[in-house]
Amino acid sequence: MIHRNRKWKREKIEDRRFRQRVGEALLARRFRQRVGEALLALLLLFAVGEFVCANLFHYTRYMDADIAGEVLFAKMTAKNGLIPPSTWAYSTERRTLYPCRLGAVLYALTGNLNLSMGIACSLSFCFLLLLMGLLYKKAGFSRIELLCALLFTLTLTCNIQGFQTMIALYAGYYLSQMGGLFLTLLLLTGLSGKRREVGEKRRSFGNEVRMAGLILLAVLLGRQGMRAFLMVYLPIAGITFFLWLVKKRERGALQFVTALLLTFLNDLTVKITASNPLSTTRNLRHGPEKLFRVVIPQIGEMMQLPEGRWLWILPCVLGMIGLFFAGADCCRKQEEGDLLAAQVVLCLWASLMGMVFSASFTTMESSSRYFIALPFAIGASCAYLLLRSRKKRESRCMRTLSLVMVLLALATGSRAAWINMDQLLLRDDTGNSWLAKAGKVLEEKGYDHAYSTFYLAGPVSVLTNGRVQVAQLDQFRDMKAMKWLSDASWYPPLTKSEEKTAFLVTEANRKDMELFLQKHPDLLLGVTELDGLRIYECKRNVTRWGE
């Protein structure tokens, strides 16, 4: 009896010690997880803060003619009562959901053009991050998985002009398309096809609100052009059709039919309202050649990996593995929540492939910025690998993969944060550039409008913060306006032809300017030399908008 009691006490003590060790191990694991989450969150905040700081205080760091066109459109919209002027000459898309529309509102309130556009781009970028976080959270990503996805997306490429200016900096050309993709997925996956009882009107009303939001978004994105059709609606329709075929779910049928209707609605809106619809034809014969000679090198150009490439290549490899598992998991029986994460991953990759195939197998002109969805897809795929290991309860694999992923995110994020700080903030010397000096000379001489080529006109205007409006000319020999990101009010007859004006002429265009002045010998007032640039001052405005 005594022996049994001793044995029972010994087992009880060992059981208590075992539970204590398990509890300590769980606490240690939880502590390590919290430390990893805190480090990732701090690095993400630092990276986002760099972009916001660059927008607010270094807006002209990478100023070019295209970015300047967005800024000047905001200026003209604000002057026209926040309505886009009918005199504006668009490039390829109407600006419906672009940051410049918000910039116009802020410019009307602040009167500071560059600051208004910087705030608008920062707010739009933060809204995109919010949509990404909401969708990833809905897909079942944990905090550490969500942070890894966001960090890899923002820091996987160091191509400032090819990626960051597309979604975070200065103009945010693709903020509306990527934001539309995440918002469409967020609303579409919330639709339910189950029959509701009479008393459950609240959920039915939620479906109606989601449908109204999806229709409105499809129309607004369609007004901008074809990019949303290729990057958002066609990929989502294809993936929802694939999932419906594989799963045969009632909700899957509803999502596919809804996505198909949105695709047709968006395409119809493009055909009816697009200002400059793309005229392309099929390129099936030379498509493979264009794919390997043009498109794939441009994808590599967009990624633009810096030194220590293995740090950036490894997440790309993990992302491809995550894509494989996401596709395989969609073909298996899974819970609804697990399927949503795989659906998000597949839609992001389909968005990339939609642009790849359209750029390869049509005569559409290709550009590296068209493949903007790649970092988003890689980030979501890496997070899906972590999610899958956690759901499968592969504890050892989960711990190893989590450690590798966190270390990779910290390493690539830290390196990219330093590169961005160096390029965006520390090396900003645009105030002393020859374009800024040209703008200062125009201000000192009292000019509020001048003329130059497309690549000089807009940047000089923005470097003066809109105080001097430099409009673009197609050629100096005939003084005809270039109708591309320009406004008719900058040229006679909408502006006074009797007022004196100035022309900024580079060495390449000097001969044309001299030939024009030979035909009008009484026009010239004086010439100012400035770092290879000549400023011709003339008695009157001889430019013209029409034929």
First-to-last alpha carbon distance for the chain, in angstroms, is 113
How far, in Å, CA of 179 to CA of 221, rounded? 10
pLDDT tens digit sequence for 360-385: 888 777 788 888 999 999 999 999 98
How far, in Å, CA of 57 to CA of 75, rounded? 19
Q: What's the pLDDT band for 199 if we cut at 50, 70, 90?
A: very low
Contact 389, 401 (CB under 8 A): yes
Give, in degrees to the nearest 5, the angle at Cα 349 between 346 and 351: 110
Domain that includes residue 253, residue range: 35-194+203-426
Q: Are strands 501-505 and 449-452 parallel, antiparallel or unpaired?
A: parallel
Instruction: Give the pLDDT score at 198.
Output: 47
Contact 420, 47 (CB under 8 A): yes
Domain total of the chain: 2
Taking only Cα atoms into account, the Rg of the chain, rounded to an integer number of angstroms, comes to 28
Residue 54 is assigned to a structural domain of this protein: yes
Which carries the bigger pLDDT value, residue 435 or residue 23? 435
C-alpha of 175 from chain center: 4
- Do 400 and 441 fall into the same domain? no
- 306 is written with which tokens? 């810096």
pLDDT tens digit sequence for 65-117: 889 999 999 999 999 989 999 888 888 778 888 999 999 999 999 989 999 99
Instruction: Give the pLDDT score at 503.
Output: 92
pLDDT tens digit sequence for 383-423: 998 888 887 766 666 667 778 888 888 888 888 888 888 88
Write the DSSP assignment of 56-101 as a string of letters.
Answer: HH-TTTT--HHHHHHHHHHHHHHHTTTS--TTEE-SSS--SSSHHH
Residue 193 has pLDDT above 80, yes or no: no
Mean pLDDT of 476-497: 88
- Do 413 and 456 fall into the same domain? no
Q: Which residue has the tokens 């290709």?
A: 366
C-alpha of 377 from chain center: 13
Q: What's the pLDDT band for 340 if we cut at 50, 70, 90?
A: confident
Residue 6 is assigned to a structural domain of this protein: no
How far, in Å, CA of 505 to CA of 479, rounded? 12
How far, in Å, CA of 95 to CA of 78, rounded? 14
Peptide bond into 493 cis (omega under 30): yes
The secondary element (H helix, E strand) that includes residue 4 is helix 2-57
Final residue in a domain of this structure, among 371, 400, 426 = 426
Residue 24 is assigned to a structural domain of this protein: no
Contact 265, 219 (CB under 8 A): yes
Residue 26 is assigned to a structural domain of this protein: no
The secondary element (H helix, E strand) that includes residue 213 is helix 201-222
- Do 321 and 415 fall into the same domain? yes
- Do 385 and 474 fall into the same domain? no
How far, in Å, CA of 425 to CA of 52, rounded? 11
In this prediction the pTM is: 0.89
- Do 344 and 309 fall into the same domain? yes
- Do 69 and 87 fall into the same domain? yes
Quick check: helix, strand or coil at residue 171? coil
Q: Any idea of the CA torsion for 204, 210, 213, 217, to the nearest 10 degrees?
A: -140
Instruction: Give the pLDDT score at 78.
Output: 92
Residue 291 is assigned to a structural domain of this protein: yes
C-alpha of 205 from chain center: 32
Most confident of 158-162, 263-267, 311-315, 477-481: 263-267
- 96 is written with which tokens? 């419906």
How far, in Å, CA of 510 to CA of 512, rounded? 6
Instruction: Give the pLDDT score at 268.
Output: 92
**Which residue type is seen at 195?**
R
Q: What's the pLDDT band for 307 if we cut at 50, 70, 90?
A: low
Which DSSP category does 473 fall into? E
**Which residue type is seen at 531?**
D
Final residue in a domain of this structure, among 367, 402, 426 = 426
Q: What is the residue-averaged pLDDT of the chain?
A: 84
- Do 351 and 420 fall into the same domain? yes
Q: Which of 343, 392, 344 is nearest to 133 (CA)?
A: 344
Final residue in a domain of this structure, among 384, 401, 426 = 426
Residue 546 is assigned to a structural domain of this protein: no
- Do 381 and 476 fall into the same domain? no
Mean pLDDT of 166-187: 91
